[in-house]
């Protein structure tokens, strides 16, 4: 743990200090006036736990296995794009940290390293998150993920068009970087970040680099110009194509959850994209119970998870685990490999501490006991 950094908020402040404003705003921002982002965090804050007393909690176990593969802790690293803009080699740093922690790492379609590179460099459980930009390209990515040994495919379905991200519009953030006097000054006043980027090369969307559709696909992905025609029949086709575990990310309605289960999906990620797409939607922790009652497959949750206590709250309301995003990027920005390891350890310790204080031994059965 970096000296003087003890909490996730400490790492957030360090990330804000180290990163250029445009990059921090990309990491931190949400859609519109960011009411959705704020609602996610506030909903977790107002969700309270009711502890049991006089329970032997001396031998706590926070491992879970929602899809048959054991996780050392009840959380995984969420798919996040452009991690190398935060720290050079960010995808690989996160993947290796997840492997050390014994939890899954989900690589984004918008990653700066390919699924083959990540698979070759780490022995942890690797998931692949799929954006459907073009059907033929999506099929290629699915086959590449399978060949690389990914256990799980995560289809993200809440990006038919781009969210209204005001911070990115104001800053001019994009890949490739578009230089202006303001951006040059922003970079110049953050020399550690700038030197690191110059030494390692500015990030590109690795899964689309060098192909005949390179420029078109990268532009579409950066502007979230996805295949807006992707529907239930397309999901069924993807289910037939992918033989491993299939999760659908972005579900916010109980009827959609039931339909996913009927189409053979193995699990769902209750998500509003961290408040980065549609602004005026419910917080995921608030709608989790209704979705839990509509289907029997395992549910994961993201959007607003900022601590190990938040993970326990999600389990208590019916989730099988949580995906964590921004806190890991704070750690990455604040200290590279050491920062990511430190944030993971903070969250793991918070999970253990909350389990003890809530009066429960096993994270895997928590939702049945609170």
Residue numbers annotated as active site: 273
Residue pair 177/279 in contact by the 8 Å Cβ criterion: no
Between CA 258 and CA 268 the distance in angstroms is 10
Tell me: cis bond preceding 131? Omega within 30 of 0 counts.
no
Q: How many CA atoms lie within 13 A of 8 on its CB side?
A: 20
Tokens coding 82: 């452009």
Which of 335-339's residues contact partners 24+ apart within 8 Å by CB, and which partners?
335/2, 335/5, 335/11, 335/14, 336/87, 336/93, 337/93, 337/96, 337/97, 338/1, 338/2, 339/2, 339/5, 339/11, 339/14
User: What DSSP assignment string belongs to 240-300?
Assistant: HH--SEEEEEEE--HHHHHHHHHTT--EEEE--GGGTS-SSS--HHHHHHHHHHH--S-EE
Q: How far apart are CA 359 and CA 69, in angstroms?
A: 26
**Pairwise CA distance, residues 272 & 282, whole Å:** 8
CA distance 127 to 136: 20
Measure the CA–CA gap between 45 and 87, rounded to whole angstroms: 30
Residue 46 to residues 41, 66, 173, 306, 358, Cα–Cα distance (Å): 9, 26, 33, 13, 16
When computed from its CA atoms, the radius of gyration of the chain, rounded to whole angstroms, is 20
């Amino acid at each position: 743990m970096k000296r003087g950094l003890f909490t996730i908020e400490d790492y957030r402040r360090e990330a804000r200090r180290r990163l250029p404003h445009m990059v921090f705003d990309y990491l931190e921002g949400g859609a519109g006036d960011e009411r959705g982002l704020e609602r996610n965090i506030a909903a977790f804050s107002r969700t309270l736990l009711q502890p049991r007393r006089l329970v032997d909690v001396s031998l706590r176990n926070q491992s879970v296995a929602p899809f048959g593969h054991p996780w050392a802790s009840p959380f995984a690293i969420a798919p996040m794009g452009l991690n190398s803009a935060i720290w050079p080699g960010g995808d690989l740093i996160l993947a290796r940290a997840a492997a050390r922690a014994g939890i899954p790492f989900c690589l984004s379609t918008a990653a700066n390293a390919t699924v083959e590179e990540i698979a070759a460099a780490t022995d942890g459980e690797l998931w692949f998150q799929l954006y459907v930009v073009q059907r033929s390209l999506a099929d290629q990515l699915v086959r590449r993920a399978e060949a690389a040994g990914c256990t799980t495919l995560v289809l993200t379905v809440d990006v038919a068009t781009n969210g209204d991200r005001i911070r990115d519009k104001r800053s001019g953030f994009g890949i490739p970087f578009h230089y202006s006097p303001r951006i040059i000054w922003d970079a110049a006043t953050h020399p550690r970040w700038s030197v690191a980027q110059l030494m390692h090369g500015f990030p590109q969307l690795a899964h689309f680099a060098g192909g005949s559709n390179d420029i078109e696909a990268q532009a579409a992905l950066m502007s979230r110009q996805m295949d807006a025609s992707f529907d239930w029949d397309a999901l069924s086709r993807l289910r037939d194509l992918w033989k491993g575990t299939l999760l659908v990310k972005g579900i916010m309605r109980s009827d959609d959850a039931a339909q996913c289960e009927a189409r053979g999906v193995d699990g769902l990620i209750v998500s509003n994209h961290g408040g980065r797409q549609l602004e005026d939607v419910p917080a995921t922790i608030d709608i989790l119970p209704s979705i839990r009652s509509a289907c029997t497959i395992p549910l994961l949750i993201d959007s607003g998870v900022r601590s190990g206590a938040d993970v326990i709250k999600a389990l208590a309301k019916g989730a099988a685990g949580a995906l964590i995003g921004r806190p890991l990027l704070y750690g990455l920005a604040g200290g590279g490999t050491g920062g990511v390891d430190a944030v993971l350890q903070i969250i793991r310790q918070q999970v253990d501490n909350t389990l003890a204080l809530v009066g429960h031994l096993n994270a895997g059965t928590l939702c049945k006991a609170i």
